[in-house]
Amino acid sequence: MKAEDMRNQSDEELRAKLAELTEERFRLRFRGATQPLEDPLRLRVIRKDVARINTILRERAQSASAGAGR
């Protein structure tokens, strides 16, 4: 998912997507320990999407706190 698409979503939607990706990453890592994965690059994609979501949420939190401090 692209960062532009993520920026158009609300905080609640992003947090739900973050929880979903975290669960999927856990399952893939668990399955990868017991058998070969069909798409091992999916772990990389998930990791980067999680980082994008966390970055967007942090930017929003910082802009909200900067706006409230004025």
**What's the burial of 43, exposed, middle or buried (CB within 10 Å: 0-12/13-18/19+)?**
middle
Contacting residues for 21 by C-beta, under 8 A, at least 6 apart: 46, 49, 50, 53
Given this structure, which CATH class describes domain 3-68? mainly alpha
* Helix %, strand %, coil % of the chain (to 5): 80, 0, 20
Q: What mean pLDDT value characterizes the chain?
A: 94
Predicted structure pTM score = 0.87
Domain ranges of the chain: 3-68
Whole-number pLDDT of residue 70? 61
**pLDDT, mean of residues 55-67:** 93
